[in-house]
Amino acid sequence: MKASKLISSISALIEQKVPSFLWGAPGVGKSSIIKQIAQSKGMEFIDLRLALMDPTDLKGIPFYDKDSHTALWAPPAFLPKEGRGILFLDELNTAAPSVQASAYQLILDRKVGEYCLPSGWAIIAAGNRESDRGVTYRMPAPLANRFVHFEMEVDACDWRDWAYEKGIDAKIIAYIAYKNEHLFTFDAKSDTKSFATPRSWEYVDAILKSSIDAELLLDAISGAVGKDVAVGFLQFVKVMTRLPNIEDILNTGEGEYSDEVDVLYALSVGLVSGVFKENSDEKLDNLLNYTLKLKSEFAVMCVQDLQRNGVKMEHSKVFKEWVKQFAYLLA
């Protein structure tokens, strides 16, 4: 399931306090999605890594109560006491079976030992698939049956929308638009240590924004996404030198045009990024004017990327002209 649909589905289940389990390959952004849901709902977010815990860490430590002459359990301080939020059990299936067993009662009954989960909190878990070469333990059927299960797939269009919002370098967004298959290159049968994932492209963004020497760039990016992808990306970056002046286009609505596909991908992303940086009716109208003579698939790509990220254009007279010209592609 794509990230956008997952967010909608899991958000609805959170309202009903239905425990959900999100499966997916490493680096696809499982934890980021759950954190994003919590932020959008104004909820607290607690991320527990059960693989780092002992069975008693969830239940707490026993102590003697001299008044009742019984043994009680002191709940751990990291569990929530009040409010609303998401208790996220990340990498649940990498935890030892004894630790998974200690989570049974918390997940199903919302209590463990002397502790009760506040009514405003929902439980979400996530983990890598057994086929992904990670250290995992087969989840016992009784525990698996306590969740509604979803599997996350990588979708370049969804990722592009997220990347615009997060301010990821336009060169990276343009390259993934041009080369969708390089967003995620993980192969469970390969022994390669570096491979491209949404998470590792974030590292590339950080590398590009760092002060690293230009001659070290290939090695650094290769360490994040692999040598072949890094070479392809850096070759694509050279395309940026052949772009028309994006600032002039957004200021005047006029500029040069190209028939080269790689240039058109880079140009489209550059124009959209320019509007996001300074969203005004004038710049939007200029972009729409320019795309009237742009290759149709790239004109549509620009407008769809803007609309999916909340840019309103129905009020624009130029947009009405744009719709007449490209209506056959929108049907």
Q: What gap in Å lies between CA 138 and CA 136, rounded to an integer?
A: 7
Mean pLDDT to the nearest integer, 34-56:
90
**Among candidates 252, 328, 259, 326, which has minimal Cα distance to 289?**
252
Distance linking the first and last C-alpha atoms of the chain = 25
| Residue 279: per-residue pLDDT | 85
Once rounded to an integer, what is the mean pLDDT over residues 53-58? 79
3-state secondary structure of 200: helix
Structure tokens at 218: 């290939």
What pLDDT, on a 0 to 100 scale, did the predictor assign at position 281? 93
Query: Has residue 269 got a pLDDT over 60?
Result: yes
pTM as predicted = 0.83
If you average pLDDT over residues 160-177, what whole number do you get?
Answer: 94
3-class SS at 41?
A: coil
Average pLDDT over residues 76-94: 90
Angle at which helices 261-277 and 296-308 cross, to 10°: 30
Q: For residue 135, is pLDDT > 80?
A: no
**Residue-level pLDDT at 86:** 96
Burial of 47 (0-12, 13-18, 19+ CB in 10 A): middle
Q: What is the pLDDT of residue 89?
A: 92
Are 149 and 107 contacting, i.e. CB atoms less than 8 angstroms apart?
no
Coil vs helix vs strand at 89: strand
Quote the CA–CA distance of 140 and 321 in Å, as a whole number: 59
Q: Which of 117-121, 173-177, 302-306, 326-330 has the lowest mean pLDDT?
A: 326-330
* CATH number, domain 3-151, options 3.40.50.300, 3.30.70.580, 1.10.150.170, 3.30.470.30: 3.40.50.300
Of the given ranges (68-72, 112-116, 210-214, 319-323), which has the lowest mean pLDDT?
68-72
pLDDT of residue 134: 60
Residue 66 has pLDDT above 90, yes or no: no
Residue 133's pLDDT is what?
64
Q: In what order do the strands lie in the sheet with 44-49?
A: 44-49, 85-90, 121-127, 20-23, 148-151
pLDDT of residue 132: 65
Render 142-190 in DSSP notation, one character per residue.
Answer: HHHTTSEEEE----HHHHHHHHHHHT--HHHHHHHHH-GGGS----TT-
Per-residue confidence (pLDDT) for residue 50, from 0 to 100: 84
Domain residue limits, the chain: 3-151, 156-330
Mind listing the pLDDT tens digit for each residue in 200-250? 999 999 999 999 999 999 999 999 999 999 999 999 999 888 999 999 999
Q: Out of 40-49, 81-90, 131-140, 215-224, pick the least confident.
A: 131-140
Using pLDDT thresholds of 50, 70 and 90, give the confidence band for residue 321. very high
